[in-house]
């Protein structure tokens, strides 16, 4: 199985590609429950396929969404993916695959985020972790 980088519409992240694993960048702008459910379901289906191949995955979410600053539907997607990654990380331990989350501040270069995500996929030691890119999380409540 070849790897997959799933980007939101309109996001250009250079010509990087994956040999294996999944990078799932959550679509921004969820407003309704249907928006949120469809995004979570998409992440589930792609992650399940990835895990069945013993491949690692990384979710990418906006830090503002994780903190609840972009409305409830966007927050549901971001925080739901974080919790799902934590559970998946536990399940991947014996098989050696990992699950992590990158949370980014507005203005972070997409290509830089994909680079970090690929590094997490290649690393194999970091799992169940929330990696912040930027400083928007400092001094804010999040667990």
Partner 1 sequence: MNGVVVVTGAARGIGRVIAETIRGSGPLSVVGVDVSPELAHSDGIVPVQVDLTFGEGPSMVKEAVEQTGLPLVGLVNNAGITRDARLINMADADFASVIEVNLGAAFRLSTTLSPLMGPGGAIVNIASRAYLGNFGQYNYSMSKGGLVGMTRALAIDLAPDVRVNAIAPGLIASEMSLAIPDDIREKMIAAIPLGRMGEPEEIAGAVWYLLSPQSSYITGHVLVVGGGRSLT
DSSP H or E segment with residue 72: helix 72-92
The reply on whether position 134 binds partner 1 by CB under 8 A is no
Q: Is 41 one of the binding residues for partner 1 (CB under 8 A)?
A: yes
Q: By CB under 8 A, is residue 74 in contact with partner 1?
A: yes
> What is the rounded distance in angstroms from the CA atom of residue 18 to the CA atom of residue 102?
17
Count of CB atoms situated within 10 Å of the CB of 56: 28
- Interaction of residue 84 with partner 1, rule CB under 8 A: yes
| Cβ neighbours of 61 (radius 10 Å) | 25
Give the nearer residue to partner 1 in terms of CB position, either 31 or 109. Answer: 31
Residues 49-68 that bind partner 1 (CB under 8 A): 51-52, 65-68
Please give the Cα distance from 113 to 105 (Å, whole number): 10
23 binds partner 1 (CB under 8 A): no
- 126 close to 84: Cβ distance less than 8 angstroms: no
What lies within 8 Å, CB to CB, of 35 at 6+ separation is 29, 73
Nearer to partner 1, 75 or 114 (CB): 75
Of residues 105 through 124, those in contact with partner 1 by CB under 8 A are: none
Contact window for partner 1 (CB under 8 A) among 17-25, 30-38, 104-112, 114-122: 30-38
Residues that bind partner 1 (CB under 8 A): 33, 36-37, 40-41, 44-45, 47-48, 51-52, 65-84, 86-91, 128, 141, 143
């Amino acid at each position: 199985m070849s790897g997959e980088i799933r980007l939101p519409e309109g996001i250009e992240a250079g010509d990087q590609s994956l040999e294996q694993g999944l990078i799932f960048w959550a679509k921004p702008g969820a407003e309704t429950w249907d928006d949120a459910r469809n995004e979570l379901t998409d992440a589930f289906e792609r992650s399940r396929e990835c895990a069945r191949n013993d491949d690692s995955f990384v979710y990418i979410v906006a830090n503002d969404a994780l903190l609840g600053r972009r409305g409830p539907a966007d927050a549901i997607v971001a925080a739901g993916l974080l919790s799902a990654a934590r559970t998946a990380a536990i399940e991947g331990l014996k098989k050696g695959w990992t699950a992590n989350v990158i949370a980014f501040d507005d203005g972070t270069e997409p290509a830089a985020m994909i680079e970090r995500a690929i590094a997490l996929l290649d690393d194999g030691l970091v799992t169940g972790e929330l990696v912040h890119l930027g400083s928007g999380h400092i001094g804010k409540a999040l667990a």
